Chains A and B, each alone.
Chain A
Amino acid sequence: MMSRTNNFVFWALYIVAWIIFVGLSIEAGGLIVNFFFSLFKPEFVQNLYQKLDLSEMYKQSRLAFFGIYCFILSISILKACLFYIVIHLMHKMDLSKPFNSFVSRQILMISYFTLSIGLLSLVARQLAKALLNYGFVTHDLNQFWADGEAFILMGAVVYIIATIFKKGVDLQVENDLTV
């Protein structure tokens, strides 16, 4: 049985995860809108979300523009998906019987998403650094991939936990099917 404190912490985390998921979804949506506006109506971008104006980059090099935007959008969408998996897991998980294949699969998915975000952030940061040498202004973009290492570390830890959890589920199934 879970103690009352644990139960409280679990529900608090569930609410926090929901809030973060809503925030990240809004951010991803805003960036997608920004992307289309910067393609078709660049003059409006100043009034849009985070004022992410890459129209100068678009004029200088389309390849750099689409490359950078591709990273920004992938990272923000992956972050929203990651938190969707977290709230889906917390919503469906039965705390009295947590060892089942669904939870194991979701934890593994969380680790894959976290690792992908971390790796993409690192690659994107290197790309932004390289673009600086070609005269592009990419300082404003650092906020999108500031925490790449943290995501990789978290992804690795969650992956290890997922592997151990999977073994635990296998043992549980074997135990359940032992008469």
Chain B
Amino acid sequence: MFYFSSIINTPVHDKDNELIGRLRDMAIESDKGHKYPPLVGILVKKNKSNEEIFISTNKIAAWSSDSIVLKVTADSAVEQTPNGTTVFLGKNVLDRQIVDLSGVRVVRVNDLQFGQVHSAMSLLAIDVSAAGLLRRIGFRQSMLGFIKPNLLEWHSVHIIGDKLQLATGRDELVRLHPADIANLVEKMNVKQGSQFLRSLDQATAAKVMEEVSPHIQKMMVRHLGAERASMILEKMSMDELVDLIQLLPSVESREIIDKLPAQKDVNRVKKILEYDEDTAGGLMATEFISAHLETQVSEVIEKIRRDSHQHRSIHFVYVTDDKKKYLGVASLRRLIVADPKQKIKEIMKRTKRTPVVNEEQSVREIANIITKYNLLSVAVVDKSGRLLGVVTVDDIMRHLVPNA
């Protein structure tokens, strides 16, 4: 096992013990999905010249920090410097800022650790500790035992803002909760953050954007520009989208609304924009599953199956009459327990037993109602009793605890 700091500038000899030059850099293949990516080659600066040559790892007989010895002669060692997916560690990884996906933090690569894995010299870990720093300025590892090592594995980091767009860490990244990814984005600067966001798929990016704090949301949208921002925003849920648009000055918000695709009902956005931010109208989501009172339970369940992908979460089905007047609510539990041939009006909870709010009621009032009646969400109706939207308990929580 050795460190990048100890092997850099090590003399490289061929099999006749002839000095070729000194080690300048080492390369791995990034996209093979190895847990410990094997080294594919080294870059050597030739003795008494400025030429740098690439030597593949299978020509190396022995590694040590005193000398690297090849199996072949100097002339037959040289190869074409590969490109494409090859990552030169010294040039592209060392000293860069990385996202530690397991610790959800932004740190810097101080040193790299190598060792034999299945008889191939491989990158074992990325060192982000102070010991790594001290090794770089000439301290020996043996003197640094008192510092707690801080080693990360290659597949659990993501290199920030690199043009190479290293594929590493992608799988690990999407496994994180969007709220955690949002925390990471908040720790980067605007440029890094928006680059990071763009490297995610649109749906994930939208979920992350919803979780980012409003102040940073605003800067990101500006930095991305209306065109690119709207590609992410279109996947956001209506109420979050409206909140974000409300933050922007009118010129910019109009630009964004113009860019949103047709299926995002722009009129609805504009309508919600008219409500005050801390009233039911401003908080509510306008995406929910509703059903006519005469619908059969089996049809409702079929509808949920069909439209499920459009909704963040589905806990209730809202029941209305011919005139869209709100009548009651049926929980998923009731739907599952019920006989599929029953009509939904037979199993729903009627409005008399479940309170509703009107669009002008304040966050405080809604919070009181939700707490008092132990609700997960509450329906918002207008004066004539028509269903407008739904306020869920997380909309309320986000409003009351904005900086989580």
A, B: real partners = no
**B→A interface (CB under 8 Å):** none
Residues on A lying within 8 angstroms of B by beta carbon are: none
